[in-house]
């Protein structure tokens, strides 16, 4: 539903020289395009062709007059040079990383053979060797390895052992986020969707919010179990939220690209700001309504099968009220010169009828309360829909649904806590929650990208976007929990290490984004292979850094 945009003027052919009129243009290859040829004589449309062009392909649209007496023409698309296979670099990178993984696995298996291990002992310093063998690179921790119990206990109030699956989930989300932020090899599916829809890049931030909610449930229960008062825990929540928001505004701010930070154009919303505020609301809500016995997982309820839900009905009421507020503001708030309930991108979208309505109520609230200069100036919608209005994907209205996302993650944490050591119960509940979220998404979207009641939209953080990404999050957490903490088939490496230092890795990758060796000048800026090499190198470096910090027991906690 986009307005046609002028692409080129084709001059008339020179009949005396029998030379046709030509015009060369570059077109987008991400989406199928409709080319419409209009007559300069005012006769209107001559022909129309829809085609999905391939990267670096060379095409000709050959237009011929069928008859001199009429304006009828023929339009034929000719492929002069076929497009390249732009996915070969991804295949090559996959093979390289698979080879590295295979070498590490073989090396680890060889180290279990006594002659090989003894030979390594002789070649290396004994103390250093012992430290390497007993490190946690790809293996369970030391207390697990020396235990004679074939089914190691995941829960011990004495050791306060962490669930590796949670840090692995967090690290996986973070590493994909780093790769995406560094460019994702310039592939469209590693970029944020222009408006409605979902790409790989759109999954990672809500997953990070989800696992933050899961960690809130377990960490608050742990602190209360170990005797911390609610006031002490509340002060810690307030301080942590303040630091996250401060780091987001002062340290990780895109306006540094324009020079020294100035209040005149300071972007107020942001990723860390949203994380900080979401953490504040969800953690404070959990602390406020925590009942006696909750910290020990022994709440009495009339329905034991729902002990992770029914005792916390005030929290659910609060969340439902927030969602009602989001729905009312989104669909009922009057926005000047825009239809009520508008969820479109504005610009040339919707046939150009609402060019200044980007984001509807969400964009209007941000511009009204924060000011146009204090929100994101280059939203993803500006590329395809040529929007001119600033719009912030981390704005005020969308924060309501990020709170809901974290609360659903909190629910996952309660499932783990209340059904500890009951692996089948935990995994079955993860699966049920995933199915419920998927059904809600199907109803809201009508299983359509554009035609649903509430489309999946990362810029708006729509309800359907939350339920869809939450559906995937429960499935992913189920798989990681099963592999890492139940069957112990995978230690979580290498994602476990950045998951243990998530704040440092996130802020570090933002601050050092344009420094070598994370970025360098490329020979061909149009090459997927060069971009992918650079982005994977930078992402891998952060994994290595997080591993080295883990080995030295250096963790940056807020």
Q: Which helix (H) or strand (E) holds 76?
A: strand 73-81
Catalytic residue (one of 31, 52, 192, 423): 192
Instruction: For residue 404, give both structure tokens.
Output: 């809901």
Residue with tokens 């629910």: 411
Q: Strand, helix or coil at 199?
A: coil
Q: Three-class SS string for 297-346?
A: CCCCCCCHHHCCCHHHHHHHHHHHHHHHHHHHHHHHCCCCCCCCCCCCCC
Nearest Cα residue to 545 out of 485, 486, 500: 500
User: Which letter does DSSP use for residue 14 in this model?
Assistant: B
Pairing of strands 33-39, 44-51: antiparallel
Instruction: For residue 135, give both structure tokens.
Output: 């490190």
Pairing of strands 58-65, 44-51: unpaired
User: How far lies 245's CA from each of 253, 264, 553, in Å?
Assistant: 11, 19, 26
Instruction: For residue 409, give both structure tokens.
Output: 């993650």
Nearest Cα residue to 488 out of 139, 13, 219: 139
* Diameter of the chain measured on Cα atoms: 95
Residue with tokens 């989300």: 173
Nearest Cα residue to 247 out of 503, 518, 549, 554: 503
Nearest Cα residue to 399 out of 466, 336, 497: 466
Note if 192 is an active site residue.
yes
Report the first-to-last Cα separation within the chain, whole angstroms.
46
Q: Give the C-alpha separation, 24 to 8, whole Å.
A: 8
| Phi/psi of residue 365, nearest 5 degrees | -65, -45
Instruction: For residue 215, give both structure tokens.
Output: 């960690």
Neighbour-count burial of 423, counting CB atoms closer than 10 A to its CB (0-12 exposed, 13-18 middle, 19+ buried): middle
Pairing of strands 73-81, 58-65: antiparallel
User: How far lies 533's CA from each of 201, 449, 508, 536, in Å?
Assistant: 18, 32, 20, 5
Instruction: Provide the annotated active-site residues.
Output: 192
């Amino acid at each position: 539903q986009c307005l046609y945009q002028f692409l080129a003027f084709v001059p008339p052919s020179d009949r005396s020289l029998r030379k046709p009129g030509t015009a060369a243009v570059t077109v987008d290859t991400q989406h199928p395009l409709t080319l419409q040829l209009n007559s300069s004589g005012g006769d209107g449309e001559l022909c129309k062709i829809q085609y999905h062009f391939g990267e670096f392909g060379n095409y000709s649209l050959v237009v011929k007059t069928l008859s001199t007496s009429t304006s009828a023409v023929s339009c034929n698309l000719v492929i002069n040079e076929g497009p390249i296979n732009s996915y070969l670099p991804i295949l090559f990178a996959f093979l390289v990383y698979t080879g590295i993984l295979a070498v590490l696995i073989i090396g680890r298996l060889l180290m279990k053979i006594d002659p090989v291990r003894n030979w390594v002992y002789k070649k290396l310093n004994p103390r250093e060797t012992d430290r390497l063998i007993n490190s946690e690179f790809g293996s369970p921790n030391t207390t697990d390895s020396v235990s004679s119990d074939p089914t190691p206990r995941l829960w011990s109030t004495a050791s306060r052992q962490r669930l590796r699956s949670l840090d692995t989930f967090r690290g996986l989300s973070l590493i994909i986020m780093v790769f995406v932020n560094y460019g994702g090899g310039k592939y469209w599916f590693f970029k944020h969707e222009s408006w409605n829809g979902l790409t790989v890049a759109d999954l990672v931030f809500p997953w990070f919010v989800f696992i933050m909610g899961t960690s809130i449930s377990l960490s608050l229960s742990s602190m209360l179990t170990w005797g911390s008062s609610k006031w002490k825990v509340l002060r810690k929540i307030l301080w942590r939220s303040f630091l996250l928001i401060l780091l987001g505004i002062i340290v990780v701010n895109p306006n540094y690209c324009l020079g020294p930070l100035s209040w005149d154009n300071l972007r107020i919303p942001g990723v860390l700001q949203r994380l900080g505020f979401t953490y504040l609301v969800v953690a404070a809500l959990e602390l406020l309504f925590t009942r006696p016995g909750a910290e020990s997982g022994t709440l009495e309820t009339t329905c034991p099968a729902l002990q992770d839900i029914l005792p916390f009905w005030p929290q659910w009421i609060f969340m439902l009220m927030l969602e009602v507020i989001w729905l009312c503001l989104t669909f009922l708030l009057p926005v000047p010169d825009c239809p009520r309930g508008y969820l479109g991108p504005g610009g040339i979208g919707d046939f150009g009828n609402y060019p200044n309505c980007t984001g509807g109520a969400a964009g209007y609230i941000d511009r009204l309360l924060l000011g146009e200069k204090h929100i994101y100036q280059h939203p993803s919608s500006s590329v395809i829909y040529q929007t001119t209005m600033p719009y912030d994907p981390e704005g005020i209205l969308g924060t309501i649904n990020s709170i809901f996302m974290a609360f659903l993650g909190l629910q996952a944490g309660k499932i783990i806590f209340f059904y500890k050591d009951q692996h089948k119960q935990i995994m079955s509940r993860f699966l049920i929650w995933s199915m419920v979220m998927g059904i809600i998404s199907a109803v809201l979207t009508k299983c359509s990208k554009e035609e649903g009641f509430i489309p999946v939209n990362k810029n708006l953080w729509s309800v359907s976007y939350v339920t869809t990404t939450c559906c995937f999050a429960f499935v992913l957490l189920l798989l990681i929990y099963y592999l890492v903490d139940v069957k112990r088939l995978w230690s979580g490496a290498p994602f476990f290490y950045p998951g243990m230092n998530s704040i440092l890795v996130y802020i570090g990758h933002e601050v050092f984004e344009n420094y070598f060796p994370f970025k360098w000048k490329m020979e061909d800026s149009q090459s997927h292979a060069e971009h992918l090499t650079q982005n994977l190198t930078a992402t891998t470096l952060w994994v290595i850094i997080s591993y080295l910090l883990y080995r030295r027991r250096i963790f940056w906690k807020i």
